[in-house]
A and B are shown apart, each in its own frame.
Chain A
Amino acid sequence: MSKRRVVVTGLGTINPLGNNVSDTWNNLINGVSGVDYINSFDTDELPVKFAGEVKNFDANEYLGKQQARKLDRSGHLSIHATEEALKDAGLDTEERLGSEVGIVFGTGIGGIGATEQAVRTYDERGASRINPLAITQLMPNSSTGQVAIKFGIEGPSLTITTACAASANAIGEAKNMIQNGIVDMVIAGGTESGTTAMTIGAFAQIRALSTNNENPKEACRPFDKNRDGFVMGEGSTVLVMESEESAKKRGANIYGYISGYGATTDAHHITAPAEGGKGAVEAMKKALADAEISNEEVDYINAHGTSTPANDKNETAAIKTVFGDMAHQLNISSTKSMTGHLLGGGGAFESLVSLLSLKNNIIPPTINLNNPDEDCDLNYTPNVALKKDLSIAMSNSFGFGGHNGVLVFKKD
């Protein structure tokens, strides 16, 4: 029996490059950096003073103060992105979506801003003054639950926390749900809002972050010889995924197909990738097999490309292992060069990029790539977007914990 095909009929996003899909795409293809100095809190004590923050977004204005104050910022961003995706898919956001619609969201660290605030209050004023909403804001499934409440999503729900692979895994698991006929539609995506003082401080402690405080917009430089770590980013991206029959029956616009999903675990080290990207290799192979395509058919890889010395080198090695002689012909790019690392929201954002690349036949560039590295010698689409006819794209996401999630997208 042939597998049910899964399509994407709606996209929504709020991220450092824009508060909607259209602004985001324009900035992506023009090589704009969304990274800047942090001005939402005091960074004097931090070794890193910049991040990719969502800008010009007032949750009180968007949700009303009474609702907004019940949610962590990650919840605000999730609802905003979901509303755009639902409207884009032609769904009525005033009606409950009901029990035939599922939701799968990914996040690395949930409402970490609420966690930090609650600890501060406890230290300063004691247990009796902790915000009674703290638990409901900080739990990793908070966005999933709040989005479900807001739009009446009553089908199965999952929250996936595989660090920076979380929302790639979310989309992959959503694909399986639809393919297996559990539901016809899943609202899938991911959110992270960890551009907060303790979290940036803690990532800096493990030397994972770039410390290029002189030039924040040039700090994230995936595959460049002078790369010195990733840049924290925040945002939410949501896809309306459904079975092809469901989409065609209701005459929905189809962005493309989610055709392949491969997931593996390094089981090697809690942060460092396995040498040569062994787990990544297997995930890419499984995704190709699931999509029932050969490696020669892939036109574009949206790389994990974090700008850390270890990831970019090992991801390059992994791509070479999977694609062999044709690795050098592939068009690759890391859009993290522009957004920073959206952590648990990264896989969903980069799925959106992959789908829009296929639809528009444009590959967004890897910006800040000026100095070749002998360990990173593939075609990463440096600095300028490329127009090219595209049929199939792959998106890589790898997370601390050794989690690997790879997705394959087809135009038709």
Chain B
Amino acid sequence: MELNEVFEKVKGLFVEDLGIDESKVTMEAKLEEDLEIDSLGIVEVVMAFEDEFEIEIDDDELADVSTVGQAVNLLHSKI
């Protein structure tokens, strides 16, 4: 899967499942500050990623993920 395809799927999850405004979801957007996803929300996001991409994400893989772009890169590397 191409990087931009992963981004589009991630964007779809944020908008459809989490109710986040589409215009806010960019590669640069910060999960906490820009998208208002708190620590509980991160768990939800990870579950949504796991379901959508049929992968498993360990907690320590998330340590360096704070933007949409970093999440997209992590997912891209695991698919």
Is A69 a contact of B40 with CB atoms below 8 Å?
no
Binds B, one of A40-48, A130-138, A374-382: A130-138
Shortest Cβ distance from residue A288 to the other chain B in the assembled complex, whole angstroms: 47
B44 contacts which chain A residues (CB < 8 A)? Answer: 131-133
Binds B, one of A59-67, A206-214, A383-391: A59-67
* Bound CA–CA A129/B46 (angstroms): 10
Within 8 A of B (CB), among A113-145: 128-129, 131-133, 136
Shortest Cβ distance from residue A72 to the other chain B in the assembled complex, whole angstroms: 14
A67 contacts which chain B residues (CB < 8 A)? Answer: 19
Total count of chain B residues near the partner, CB < 8 A: 9
Asked if B18 is an interface residue, CB under 8 A from chain A, the answer is yes
Shortest Cβ distance from residue B43 to the other chain A in the assembled complex, whole angstroms: 4
* Bound CA–CA A64/B18 (angstroms): 10
Asked if B62 is an interface residue, CB under 8 A from chain A, the answer is no
A129 contacts which chain B residues (CB < 8 A)? Answer: 47, 51
Within 8 A of A (CB), among B44-72: 44, 47, 51
* Bound CA–CA A66/B18 (angstroms): 6
* Bound CA–CA A314/B43 (angstroms): 51
Asked if B36 is an interface residue, CB under 8 A from chain A, the answer is yes
Is A132 a contact of B19 with CB atoms below 8 Å?
no
* Bound CA–CA A331/B43 (angstroms): 55
* Bound CA–CA A64/B44 (angstroms): 18
Q: Which residue of A lies closest to B44 (CB)?
A: A132
A132 contacts which chain B residues (CB < 8 A)? Answer: 40, 43-44, 47
Shortest Cβ distance from residue A59 to the other chain B in the assembled complex, whole angstroms: 11
A68 contacts which chain B residues (CB < 8 A)? Answer: 19
A60 contacts which chain B residues (CB < 8 A)? Answer: 19
A69 contacts which chain B residues (CB < 8 A)? Answer: 18-19
Interface majority SS (helix, strand, loop, mixed), chain A: helix
* Bound CA–CA A136/B19 (angstroms): 19
Is A66 a contact of B40 with CB atoms below 8 Å?
no
Shortest Cβ distance from residue B36 to the other chain A in the assembled complex, whole angstroms: 7
* Bound CA–CA A69/B41 (angstroms): 11
A52-82 near B? 1/0 per residue, CB < 8 Å: 0000000010001111111000000000000
Shortest Cβ distance from residue B41 to the other chain A in the assembled complex, whole angstroms: 8
B51 contacts which chain A residues (CB < 8 A)? Answer: 129
Is A136 a contact of B47 with CB atoms below 8 Å?
no
Is A65 a contact of B47 with CB atoms below 8 Å?
no
* Bound CA–CA A60/B19 (angstroms): 9
Is B36 a contact of A133 with CB atoms below 8 Å?
no
* Bound CA–CA A133/B18 (angstroms): 12
A128 contacts which chain B residues (CB < 8 A)? Answer: 47
A66 contacts which chain B residues (CB < 8 A)? Answer: 18-20, 36
Q: Which residue of B lies closest to A128 (CB)?
A: B47
* Bound CA–CA A241/B54 (angstroms): 52
* Bound CA–CA A129/B48 (angstroms): 9
Enumerate chain A interface residues (CB-CB to B < 8 A): 60, 64-70, 128-129, 131-133, 136
20 of the cross-chain contacts (CB-CB < 8 Å) are: A60-B19, A64-B19, A65-B18, A65-B19, A66-B18, A66-B20, A66-B36, A67-B19, A68-B19, A69-B19, A70-B40, A128-B47, A129-B47, A129-B51, A131-B44, A132-B40, A132-B44, A132-B47, A133-B40, A133-B44
Closest 8 A/B residue pairs (Cβ): A65-B19, A132-B43, A66-B19, A132-B40, A132-B44, A66-B20, A133-B40, A69-B19
Extra contacts besides A60-B19, A66-B19, A136-B40 (10): CB < 8 Å: A64-B19, A65-B19, A66-B18, A68-B19, A69-B19, A129-B51, A132-B43, A132-B44, A132-B47, A133-B44
